[in-house]
Amino acid sequence: MKLTESAIERVGREFGSAELRDPRLVRRAGMVASMLARKPSVPLPEALGSDAALEGAYRFVNNRRVTFDALLQAHAEETAKRAEQAGAVLVLHDTTDATFIDVDHAEIGYLPTGKPGFLFHPALVLDSTQWRCPLGVIYGETIHRAQRSKRPGQSKRSGRDTVADTDSEGARWWRGIEAASNRLSNCADVIHIADRESDSYELMHRCLELGQRFVFRVRVAERRGRLADGNASPWSTVGAIADSSEGILERQVVLSRRAAKGAPGMNRGNPARAERLTTLRFSAARVELPRPQYLPKSFAKTLTLNLVHVIEPNPPDGESPVQWLLYTTEPIDTAEQVAKIVDYYRARWTIEEFNAALKTGCAYEGRGFETRHALLNLLALTLPVACELLALRSRARNTPEAPASNVLRQSQVDVLRAFERKLSASPTAREALLAVAALGGHLKRNGEPGWIVLMRGMRTLLDYEIAWLAGRQSVLNDDPAVVGDDL
C-alpha cells in the first residue's frame, strides 16, 4: 500500500532519539526509514532511488554502532508517547517467524521447519478507543536457535527445569509484558492480549502479582479448576466449567473462510472451513486454578480468574463448532462487560496482520541482506512503516467521512473512479479503501476488508496508476496545450 506524505514524515522522525553516538547516523536512520516508507514493497534499489542512497543504506545497516536495540528503543519511546495521549491501549503479544532461505544457518539460526531464520516476538500497541489503530511496537525480541528443533520423541526440558530460567524461550511472554508495562507506566489503561501460548500459570501469577490486566486464550481446557463461588465447589476442569455456564448473550456474526494448511498437523487447532453466517453464545464464570506440582511454593497456591466462553451452539453438519475460552482479569458482571472482553480478544488478529505487513507489505524477508546485524537493523527500521500501513485501514474505519486524500493520492482516486463508476466526485476515505479492496476481490457482503485483500487491491491499483500516469504524460507530450482538467 502507498503511504501519504504525512505518514512518511512521521516514519522519518521516529528514530530522532536513537542512541547511535553520532548525529549523522541518526539523520541517516530517518532518511532510510522515509525512503522505505515511500515505496515499502518494492525491491531495495528501487525504493532507495539511486546508487548513492543504496550504498548509504547498506553502510548504515551494517555499521556496528547501529544496533537493533537502539533503533527499537527510539521507536518504543515514540510509541509510549502516543499511548499516553490515547490513554487506553491494548498490547498484543505474538511470535512469528522470519525466513531467509539464502542466509547461512550459522549466521541467522534455525526455524522449527529447519529453514534459516529467526523468531520475532513483538508487543504491538493499539489505541483501544479507536478501531484497531496501531500506535507502534513497544517491545520486541528475536530468538535465534543454534540447531534444529528436537524431533518428536526426543526429551525436552520439563517445566520444573525452565520455570526459573528467565532467559528461556517460554519466558519471552513475561519479558514482553514486563517491558511493555514499564514503558507504558504513564498510560492510564493497559490490557495485555495473547493467544494460546500465554496459557501459563506462572505467567498469569506474575501478571496478577504486578497488577497487570490481561485477556489470554485458554490452551488446556483439561486443566483442573473449580468455580470460585466461596462454597468450596468440587474440582473439575476449566472446559467442564465453561460447558456448564449459562449463556449471557448471543451475537450473530459472519465467520470468514479458512483455507486448509499444507503443513502436517497445522489444521488440528484451526481446521479449514467455508464462510458462514452463524450465532455465537457468550457465557462467563469465576474460576479457581490450583498451582501445578512442578512450580515452587513461591507461586500462589491458587489463582482466581474470570473465564469467558464463546461457543457456536448449532454448527452446520460436518463443521467443527467455533469455541473460545478466555482467562481475564476484566469484570464479567454484565453482558456488556463480557462482550467487551470478547471484542478485546478479537483485536488480537491485528498483530497477525502486522506480521503480514512486515513480510508482505514491507517485503522484509526479500531485502537480500546476509548478516544478522544488518537484518535486525532493517527490521527495526521497518516496524513503524508496517504500523503506518495498518493505520491506513484504521483511519478509514475510525474517520469514515474524512476525504480520500487521507489514505490515497489524487491520481489513485482518479484511477479508482475509472473502475468504480459509483465512486463519488469527492469520495471519503472509507469509500476509497472499499474500492481498493474490490480490486483485490473483496465483496461488501463479507464485512470489513482484511489486510491481505487490501494488499492485493493496492498492488493492482499501483499497476493501473503507473499506466494511467504514463498515458497522461503521453497526452501532455503530444499536445502541451492540454492541461490537467482536460484529461
Q: What is the pLDDT of residues 306-342, one digit of tens each?
A: 999 999 998 888 888 889 999 999 999 999 999 999 9
Grid cell digits, residue 417: 473512479
State the pLDDT at residue 270.
66
State the pLDDT at residue 479.
57
Does residue 183 lie within any of the structural domains?
Answer: no
Grid cell digits, residue 366: 526479500
State the pLDDT at residue 122.
98
Closest CA to 350 of 135, 30, 100: 135
Look up residue 341 and give its amino acid: I
pTM value is: 0.84
CATH of the domain at 482: 1.10.740.10
Does residue 420 lie within any of the structural domains?
Answer: yes
Instruction: Report residue 483 CA to chain centroid gap.
Output: 44
State the pLDDT at residue 456.
74
Cα separation, 485 vs 203, in Å, equals: 62
Cα separation, 86 vs 318, in Å, equals: 45
State the pLDDT at residue 436.
83
Does residue 277 lie within any of the structural domains?
Answer: no
Alpha-carbon dihedral 394, 124, 332, 306, rounded to 10 degrees? 160
Structurally, the chain folds into a number of domains equal to 1
Does residue 471 lie within any of the structural domains?
Answer: yes
State the pLDDT at residue 482.
45
Write out pLDDT tens, residues 203-213: 999 999 999 99
- In b/e form, how buried is each residue of 459-484, taking b as 16+ CB within 10 angstroms? ebbbebbeebeeeeeeeeeeeeeeee
Q: At what angle do helices 372-398 and 349-356 cross, to 10 degrees?
A: 130
pLDDT tens track of the chain, all 487 residues?
Answer: 567 778 888 899 999 999 999 999 999 999 999 999 888 888 888 888 889 999 999 999 999 999 999 999 999 999 999 999 999 999 999 999 999 999 999 999 999 989 999 999 999 999 998 888 899 999 999 999 988 766 555 555 555 555 555 678 989 999 999 999 999 999 999 999 999 999 999 999 999 999 999 999 999 999 999 999 878 789 999 999 999 999 999 998 877 776 676 555 555 666 777 777 889 999 999 999 999 999 999 999 999 999 999 999 988 888 888 899 999 999 999 999 999 999 999 999 999 989 988 988 888 998 889 999 999 999 999 999 999 888 877 777 777 787 877 777 778 888 888 877 678 888 888 888 888 888 888 877 666 776 667 767 776 877 787 777 777 666 656 655 544 333 2
Q: Which residues contact 397 (CB under 8 A, 6 or more apart)?
A: 131, 132, 430, 448
State the pLDDT at residue 340.
96
Instruction: Give the residue numbers spanning the domain of 416.
Output: 402-486
State the pLDDT at residue 483.
41
Does residue 357 lie within any of the structural domains?
Answer: no
Cα separation, 307 vs 285, in Å, equals: 5
Write out pLDDT tens, residues 73-108: 999 999 999 999 999 999 999 999 999 999 999 999
Does residue 66 lie within any of the structural domains?
Answer: no
State the pLDDT at residue 202.
96
Does residue 436 lie within any of the structural domains?
Answer: yes
Does residue 418 lie within any of the structural domains?
Answer: yes
